[in-house]
Structure formats: structure tokens, C-alpha cells
């Protein structure tokens, strides 16, 4: 059981969670050097999300614990960085509130769906949302001019695009769940 829970893929996922406080620490240390270290660690943590899933599927070690832990680690990484960015005055609070509300609502939806035996898997909009959020956060961690480019402006532009996709994907999950639940409920009545 211990080997199953603490397999390689789940260890990589746990690494993503444990590196978050270090990223946050470097984000609070003023200076260019600390920003770049925070970005480096954030990039490693973000890429670990691709690696753990690939390993789990390749080695056929997908576990219920991993299915729970992976999206939790993603949410801890993204929400922690977003909250620090609000505290540093780099991102408006209302943007983060909308993103957090969507995440909580979809997580609740998944819990309700699971209790009815319905799996609400990530769709392409949910994956696009995550990619856009991670790219935007990378720019916003650095938040300064680099080689003549206004990194903060680029980051905020991508974050607003991510916000639109975030809201759209949240609505899409609810519509998909309703259709699936309605069809299963209707077919149950016809039996």
C-alpha cells in the first residue's frame, strides 16, 4: 500500500506542493535575483504537472490518491501565487476572487458528481485555462521590464485571457454535468 501511494508520480506531485512555500518566500524577498529564483521554481513545479501524469500513465500507476492529489497540488500552486501577487499589488483582487470561486465551484461539482457515480474529467478548456494561468503567473512573478518588454503588461493581458477561459470552462463543466446527470436521470426513469 505504501508503495502504491508513494509511487514516483505521486512523489513528483507532492514535490509540487512542498515547493510552494519556497516560491512564496522568494516572491516576498525584494530584488531581481529572488524574482528569477521564484520563477525558476514555479516553472519546475508547473512542468512537474506534465511529468507526473505522463509517468503515471506510462507506468500504469494511476491511483485514486494521485487523482485526488494532482488537482489539489495544481490549485495550491496557482492560488498561492495568485494570493501573493494580490498582496504585492501586482494583480487586482477581483480577478483572483473570480478564479478562486470558479475553482471552488468546480471542485464542489466534482464532489457531487462523484457521489452520483459521475466522473467530471478535465476538458480541453480546463486544460487551456491551467496553461494560460501558469504562463500569466510566470510573467507576473518577474513583473519588470526585460529586454525592453513590459513583462507585467504581458502577464496581465494573459491573465485576463485566462480569466475569460476560466469562467467559460467553469460554465462548460456545469452544463456538461447537467446534461450528463439529466440523461442518466431520465434513462433511470425509463427503466
Q: What is the dihedral of CA 153, 127, 49, 40, to 10 degrees?
A: -10
Q: How far is the CA of 14 from the CAs of 6, 19, 50, 60, 77, in angstroms?
A: 9, 9, 14, 18, 11
pLDDT in tens, 62-116: 666 667 778 788 889 999 999 999 999 999 999 999 999 998 998 888 777 777 6
| pTM for the structure as a whole | 0.84
Domain 2-186 is in which class? mainly alpha
3-state secondary structure of 112: helix
Burial 30-57 (b: 16+ CB within 10 A, else e): eeeeebebbbebbeebbebbebbbebbe
Q: What's the pLDDT tens digit per position in 132-188?
A: 999 999 999 998 777 888 889 999 999 999 999 999 998 988 888 888 777 766 665
Amino acid at each position: 500500500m505504501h508503495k502504491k501511494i508513494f509511487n514516483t508520480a505521486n512523489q513528483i506531485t507532492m514535490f509540487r506542493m512542498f515547493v510552494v512555500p519556497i516560491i512564496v518566500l522568494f516572491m516576498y524577498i525584494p530584488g531581481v535575483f529572488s524574482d528569477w529564483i521564484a520563477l525558476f521554481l514555479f516553472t519546475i513545479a508547473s512542468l512537474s504537472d506534465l511529468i507526473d501524469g505522463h509517468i503515471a500513465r506510462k507506468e500504469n500507476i494511476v491511483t485514486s490518491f494521485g487523482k485526488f492529489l494532482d488537482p489539489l497540488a495544481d490549485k495550491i500552486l496557482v492560488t498561492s501565487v495568485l494570493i501573493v501577487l494580490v498582496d504585492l499589488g501586482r494583480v487586482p483582487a477581483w480577478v483572483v476572487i473570480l478564479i478562486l470561486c470558479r475553482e471552488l465551484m468546480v471542485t464542489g461539482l466534482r464532489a457531487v458528481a462523484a457521489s452520483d457515480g459521475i466522473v467530471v474529467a478535465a476538458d480541453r478548456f480546463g486544460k487551456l485555462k491551467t496553461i494560460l494561468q501558469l504562463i500569466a503567473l510566470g510573467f507576473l512573478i518577474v513583473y519588470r521590464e526585460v529586454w525592453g518588454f513590459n513583462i507585467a503588461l504581458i502577464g496581465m493581458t494573459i491573465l485576463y485571457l485566462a480569466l475569460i477561459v476560466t469562467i467559460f470552462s467553469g460554465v462548460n463543466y456545469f452544463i456538461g454535468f447537467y446534461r450528463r446527470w439529466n440523461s442518466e436521470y431520465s434513462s433511470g426513469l425509463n427503466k
